[in-house]
Amino acid sequence: MTEPGSGVLAVVLAGGRGTRLMPLTAHRAKPDVPFGARHRIIDFVLSNLVNGGCRDILVITQYRNESLDGYLRAAWHGRSVPQGCGSGTVRVTPLSSRQVPGGSTGSADALYRNLDVIEAYAPAQVLLFGADHVYRMDPRPLLGQHTAQRAGVTVAAVRQPLARADQFGVIEAAACGTRIAAFREKPKDATGLPDAPAAVTVKVPL
């Protein structure tokens, strides 16, 4: 299994306004919403990364970043990597996305505006995750497959029922099974998988 080590930079996009969580997000971004008393929603992705051996984590904030930035520095920066997951301490760096007048234009724009910061780390690989989802994932198998396939980009995906395809971004695989042939956002006419007609493959959200 490939270990992230010092050659991998994890970039976490923390830009969710979380309008569906109102009024919890009236004064804070969705990743900053408390979860289980002492924790925040962003702790799920950070826990996945740190327990997967990631030591350099760049968090790009886009909305109401003041509270979240302070929390990240106090709760995560300088934390030790768990035993068995590499060595060293965690460097979590909050970075406010450089805005254009009128606000951010999305995740891709936030990345583009901070490419110089990402490139300054000179990473061999970049892991890109969203900050406002509750799930458990070990990033090492994903990184290992990416390296083994010598891919330019690897997209994490899961299966969902075909009946729910119109709620997700659906990935259509090429005949080889390891390449993306098409990506369709919330299609109403999706078809099932060859080995699972009642399921589709969907992109893990950013």
Query: 8-35 pLDDT, tens per residue?
Result: 899 998 876 666 666 766 667 778 787 8
Q: Kindly report the pTM of this predicted structure.
A: 0.81
Q: Which of 17, 71, 63, 16 is nearest to 40 (CA)?
A: 71
Give the pLDDT score at 25: 65
Structure-token pair, residue 46: 């950070």
Q: Do both 138 and 182 map to the same domain?
A: no
Q: Do both 79 and 121 map to the same domain?
A: yes
Q: What's the total number of domains in the chain? A: 2
Range of the domain at 16: 5-149
Dist CA 180 CA 192 (whole Å)? 15
64: domain CATH number is 3.90.550.10
Query: 34-91 pLDDT, tens per residue?
Result: 787 788 888 999 999 988 888 888 888 776 667 788 888 888 877 777 765 655 677 7
Q: Do both 77 and 174 map to the same domain?
A: no
Q: Do both 33 and 96 map to the same domain?
A: yes
Task: Please say whether the beta carbons of 35 and 43 come within 8 A.
Answer: yes
Give the pLDDT score at 85: 61
* pLDDT band of 170, cuts 50, 70, 90: very high
Dist CA 181 CA 202 (whole Å)? 13
Give the pLDDT score at 99: 54
Task: Please say whether the beta carbons of 92 and 61 come within 8 A.
Answer: no
Alpha-carbon distances, residue 204 vs 16, 89, 121, 136, 156 (angstroms): 15, 28, 25, 12, 6
Taking the mean position of all CA atoms in its chain, how far away is CA 10?
A: 8
Q: Do both 165 and 66 map to the same domain?
A: no
Query: 144-166 pLDDT, tens per residue?
Result: 989 998 888 998 888 999 999 99
Dist CA 205 CA 124 (whole Å)? 23
